[in-house]
């Protein structure tokens, strides 16, 4: 079955085929349609068994607003959570959100709404309700073989979620002590004494629980546990085991009418490289599936969709440099993976109720190396020559002058109003830290100058030794 928008007939070829109509796929299609590209949004339309409520933190609102989906997202919300109840340490804690709590969204309605936004944004965007059977590359184009015919595309974005990631070869983090995968067992029920909408998170000896409790008394959540705990058991015994876990919950003492859905993978996993080829990219959970304990999964989906759309616009424009686009998305993937790993490790380490194997399955991340000591009175220079790095600029990606930060594996193109070129110029000739600050302060305010110098020192960009020669372009 083919769903058409504004009477558009399905063409044999489109600019971009987007596989998967979840948040990442739909927002990518929305951005590409607005840019004037023809898009086929391909999804089987099968509702996945999962917890029914999605949380969207207030920190993600500016991004959603910038891409024009904040109002549609809000239409799928029960409302904001008023508080978070935490059973994570010796004493229960309550975090009041003071009217800035995460929105509690209905997952199915969210997906439908974002897909509808993508389809309404452009007459050149079509929705194809079909399964993808095969991807075939030939002469710089892609053929997407589906259950309802073949589609030719200049480029493919794979946004098929965790299932897509497993097909591509997403890997759990090798330096973590993960003996078997994390799974989510969704549940729903009712509270006999409902209150205002809120969220809760609770540690159990070999699992943890997240739930959204609505003002109506409905409760939607999931038990996160190792896959081995559910292996080889019947549906009835699985439900009985889960009910026993919830019966020990301090957070949900009066939960009734409990029902369970099919377990879903919830392990942290990432593809080694989101650029599968010059014509295939992976985004969203297919590229990086966060452990839900780290939260912000929906924000990550929106962000990667916007980034991927910029990559596509750059790659398909013959006047622009596709290598800058590929370097950009690779850097963003590494950065997102690093931040997600850190948030996950911190969340597990922060739990202090139980000292069990489950809570040690995620090892702490190694500490970042310390930058070399800096003497304020001795001459300083850049530790490597000025190089270039990819930057998002007006919806496409270009190269820009950059300074590498070797200690934190990053780079500076601009820091506030101070550019990499400004910094490189002020370091010629080498000078003491006060002199470098004085040079920059001729054009920039003192607070910005001190902030950028501190960032350079922390990142290892300034040194007393000789400058490394032959700095490489930041391209992956």
Task: Give the other-Cβ count within 10 Å of 267's Cβ.
Answer: 22
CATH of range 2-83+94-174+267-329; options 3.30.420.480, 3.40.50.620, 3.40.640.10, 3.50.50.60: 3.50.50.60
What is the spatial distance between Cα 466 and Cα 476, in angstroms, rounded to a whole number? 26
Mean pLDDT computed over 370-396: 90
257: Cα within 13 Å, side-chain hemisphere: 9
List the one residue out of 113, 143, 139, 118 whose CA is nearest residue 37: 118
By DSSP bridging, strand 149-158 and strand 13-19 are parallel
CA 290 and chain centroid, separation: 7
Greater confidence (370 vs 29) lies with 29
Least confident of 69-73, 235-239, 472-476: 472-476
Average pLDDT on 57-73 reads: 95
What average pLDDT does range 23-42 have in this prediction? 97
| Residues in contact with 339: Cβ distance below 8 Å, sequence separation at least 6, in sequence order | none
pLDDT at 340 over 60: yes
- What's the pLDDT score for residue 165? 73
| Residue 364: pLDDT band with limits 50, 70, 90 | confident
Confidence of residue 21 (pLDDT cuts 50, 70, 90): very high
Q: How many residues does the chain have?
A: 476
Tell me the mean pLDDT in the region 45-67: 86
Q: How confident is the model at residue 2 (pLDDT cuts 50, 70, 90)?
A: very low
DSSP lists the bridge partners of residue 77 as 105
More confident residue, 467 or 232: 232
Domain ranges of the chain: 2-83+94-174+267-329, 381-463
Q: Is the pLDDT of residue 180 over 80?
A: no
d(CA 223, CA 243): 10
pLDDT in the model for residue 3: 40
Burial class of residue 366 in the structure, from the number of CB atoms within 10 Å of its CB (0-12 exposed, 13-18 middle, 19+ buried): exposed
Cβ neighbours, 10 Å, residue 375: 10
408-438 as b/e: b if 16+ CB within 10 A:
bebbbbbbeebbbebbeebbeebbebebbbe
417-429: pLDDT as tens digits: 999 999 999 999 9
pLDDT, mean of residues 76-81: 93
Please give the average per-residue pLDDT across 69-74, as a whole number.
Answer: 96
**Distance between CA atoms of 101 and 118, rounded to whole angstroms?**
27
Percent of the chain exceeding pLDDT 70 equals: 93
pLDDT digits (tens, 9 = 90+) for 280-309: 999 999 999 999 998 889 999 999 999 999
Q: Which band of pLDDT confidence, cut at 50, 70 and 90, is reported for residue 189?
A: very high
pLDDT at 476: 53
């Amino acid at each position: 079955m083919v769903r058409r928008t504004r009477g558009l007939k399905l063409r044999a070829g489109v600019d971009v085929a987007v596989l998967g109509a979840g948040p990442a796929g739909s927002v990518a299609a929305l951005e590409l349609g607005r840019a004037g590209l023809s898009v086929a949004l391909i999804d089987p339309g099968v509702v996945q068994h999962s917890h029914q409520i999605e949380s969207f933190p207030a920190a993600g609102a500016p991004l959603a607003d910038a891409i024009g989906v904040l109002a549609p997202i809000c239409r799928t919300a029960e409302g904001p959570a008023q508080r978070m109840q935490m059973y994570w340490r010796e004493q229960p804690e309550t975090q009041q959100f003071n009217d800035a709590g995460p929105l509690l969204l209905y997952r199915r309605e969210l997906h439908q709404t974002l897909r509808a936004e993508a389809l309404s944004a452009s007459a050149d965007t079509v929705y194809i309700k079909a399964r993808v059977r095969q991807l075939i590359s030939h002469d710089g184009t892609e053929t997407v073989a589906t259950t309802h015919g073949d589609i030719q595309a200049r480029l493919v974005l794979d946004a098929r979620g965790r299932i897509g990631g497993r097909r591509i070869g997403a890997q759990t983090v090798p330096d973590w002590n993960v003996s078997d995968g994390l799974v989510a067992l969704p549940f729903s029920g009712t509270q006999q004494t409902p209150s205002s909408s809120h969220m809760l998170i609770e540690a159990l000896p070999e699992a943890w629980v997240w739930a959204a409790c609505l003002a109506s008394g409905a409760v939607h959540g999931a038990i996160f546990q190792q896959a081995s705990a559910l292996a080889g058991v019947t549906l009835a015994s699985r439900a009985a085991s889960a009910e026993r876990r919830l019966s020990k919950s301090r957070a949900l003492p009066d939960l009734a009418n409990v029902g369970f859905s099919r377990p879903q993978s919830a392990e942290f996993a990432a593809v080694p490289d989101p650029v599968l080829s010059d014509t295939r990219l992976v985004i969203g959970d297919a590229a990086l599936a966060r452990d839900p304990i780290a939260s912000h999964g929906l924000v990550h989906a929106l962000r990667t969709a916007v980034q991927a759309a910029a990559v596509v616009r750059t790659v398909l424009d013959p006047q622009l440099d596709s290598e800058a686009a590929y370097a950009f998305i690779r850097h963003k993937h590494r950065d997102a993976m690093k931040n997600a790993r850190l948030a996950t490790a911190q969340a597990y380490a922060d739990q202090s109720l139980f000292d069990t194997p489950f809570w040690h399955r995620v090892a702490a991340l190694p500490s970042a190396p310390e930058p070399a000591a800096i003497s304020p009175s001795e001459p300083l220079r850049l530790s490597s020559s000025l190089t270039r790095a990819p930057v998002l600029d007006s919806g496409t990606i270009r190269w820009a002058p950059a300074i590498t930060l070797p200690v934190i594996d990053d780079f500076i193109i601009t820091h506030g109003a101070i550019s990499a070129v400004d910094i490189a110029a002020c370091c010629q000739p080498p000078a003491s830290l006060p002199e470098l600050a004085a040079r920059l302060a001729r054009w920039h305010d003192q607070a910005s100058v001190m902030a950028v110098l501190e960032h350079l020192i922390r990142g290892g960009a300034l040194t007393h030794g000789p400058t490394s020669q032959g700095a490489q372009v930041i391209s992956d």
